[in-house]
Amino acid sequence: MILKNCKLTAELSEPGAPKLADVVIEGNKIQAILPCGALDEGEHGIMDLHGAALLPGLIDAHVHLFMGKATDGDRDRITVPAQWAFDCYSYAGFFLDHGYTTIRDVGDELHFSGLAARNAINEGIVKGPRIYGSGVTIVPVTAGFDPYSYFCAFYSTREEVRKEARNQFNHGADFLKLYGTGSMLVDDSLPGKRIMLEDEIAEAVMIARSKDSYCACHCHGAEAIGVMIDQGVRTIEHASFITDESCKKLDGRRDIGIVPTIACSCPEAMGLTEKDGAVYEKYSTVSAQRDACLRNAYENYDILIGWGTDMALYTMKANPYIEWQARKERLGISNIDLLKQATINSAVLMGIDHKVGSVSVGKFADLIVIDGDPAADITAMYQKPAHVIKDGEVIR
């Protein structure tokens, strides 16, 4: 297939690629990127983009597929756990429809439904995005987490960390997810307080490296972020209250970075208004503090920043583009950097930039077509792509 008259974005394409190009797809990979009209069409199938923007498929590096129920609440899934597999498949399809050709599932439920969805897609049973899954989140026994035990692999000792880490890889995990600090989700848990000890973190990192893999860690607090960096965690999830000290440790590095999730904790994403009183004030205050820390990290340091949404399907359906809006309006991120965060930056953080993340010869033909020019006007991303292509197949 040939995609004719494509408008490419230099920062998201291979070096030297023409601004207007014909992109040749052979099988599931990009075979050539040529000036428009340079190739004899022959028997190739043609899709003429008429100058529309061609971008690499988007990457969401922080999702939870088991949160794919169409309405709020998931307690009934505990009694009929097989339903989670359908939730995961449904949510994966939602992401693909919105241009996310790769997603990273950072925390499965105890029946590994996210990994099952990944396997079904990889085996061609169903269609969906590329999925990289962590298995179940490894969490120290901590007050307040009991209601969420269905997605926690609890441990009490360093030895149990090793056991749980190996268990996730045994079930087919691509990497490990750790829970390093408290959470806004848990009433009895302070979001910024570290709950993992250094030797426990080091144990998980050691097991991950023995599998040529890495650890991602839920981490809000300033002190905890610094410890995670020192212990070799590769991706700091949320990084809400990152300090200058930690920013300096990350400055200029490409083997480690942060995956903020801005929109999910904003009052507007949670449906909160001033009428909700103290709850609204709590999330407004925390979000503003978080925004200041992450804006500092973005504006004053060269930190590898990835893309994450971390929301349930019913929330995403209400506004699928809220993460774009939040990063633009609350953090002031440039259009190009937003596009890079949702593509090549996330690919580098996940160690898959040789496969996806840019429009480049030899990479998978995972592509989206956008009406408008998002590099000039990011609101072009506040709608579904005109076309989604995954593995060289036009999904729609």
Per-residue DSSP letters for 121-164? Answer: HHTTSS---EEEE--BEEEE--TT-GGGGGGEEEESSHHHHHHH
Say if residues 10 and 17 touch (Cβ distance below 8 Å).
Answer: yes
Is the distance from CB of 269 to CB of 284 less than 8 angstroms? no
Q: What pLDDT is stored for residue 71 in this prediction?
A: 72
Q: Label residue 184 by pLDDT band (50, 70, 90).
A: low
- CA–CA separation, 90 and 126 (whole Å): 11
The Cα 95–Cα 113 span in angstroms is 16
Question: Average pLDDT of 358-364?
Answer: 98
| Residue 189: per-residue pLDDT | 52
- Spatial distance between the Cα atoms of 1 and 360, rounded to a whole number of angstroms: 16
- Residue 128 banded pLDDT, cuts 50, 70, 90: very high
pLDDT tens digits, 296-329 = 999 999 999 999 999 999 999 999 999 999 999 9
How many Cβ atoms are within 10 Å of 53's Cβ, its own excluded?
24
Pick the CATH number of 2-56+357-394 from 3.30.1360.40, 2.30.40.10, 3.40.50.720, 2.40.30.170: 2.30.40.10
Report which of residues 300 and 41 the model is more confident about.
300
pLDDT bracket for residue 119 (50, 70, 90): very high
Spatial distance between the Cα atoms of 257 and 210, rounded to a whole number of angstroms: 21
pLDDT tens track for 365-395: 999 999 999 999 999 999 999 999 999 999 9
- CB of 113 closer than 8 Å to CB of 85: yes
Give the least confident one: 82-96, 137-151, 176-190: 176-190
* Euclidean distance between CA atoms 229 and 164, whole angstroms: 21
Residue 376, number of CB atoms within 10 A of its CB = 10
CATH code for the domain defined by 58-350? 3.20.20.140
Q: Is 75 exposed, middle or buried (0-12, 13-18, 19+ CB in 10 A)?
A: exposed
10 Å CB burial of residue 224 (0-12, 13-18, 19+) is buried
CA proximity to 350, closest of 221, 175, 99 = 175
Q: What are phi and psi of 190, to 5 degrees?
A: -80, 125
d(CA 228, CA 215): 10
Pairing of strands 137-140, 2-7: unpaired
CA gap 341, 141 in Å, rounded = 33
Q: What is the mean pLDDT of residues 111-126?
A: 97
Domain ranges of the chain: 2-56+357-394, 58-350
- Residue 263: pLDDT band with limits 50, 70, 90: very high
Choose the weakest-confidence range: 13-22, 139-148, 241-250.
139-148
Dist. CA 193–CA 219, nearest whole Å: 9
Q: Dig out the tokens for 90 from the structure.
A: 């449904």
Are 98 and 390 in contact by the 8 Å Cβ rule? The answer is no
Q: Report d(CA 386, CA 97) in Å as an integer.
A: 10
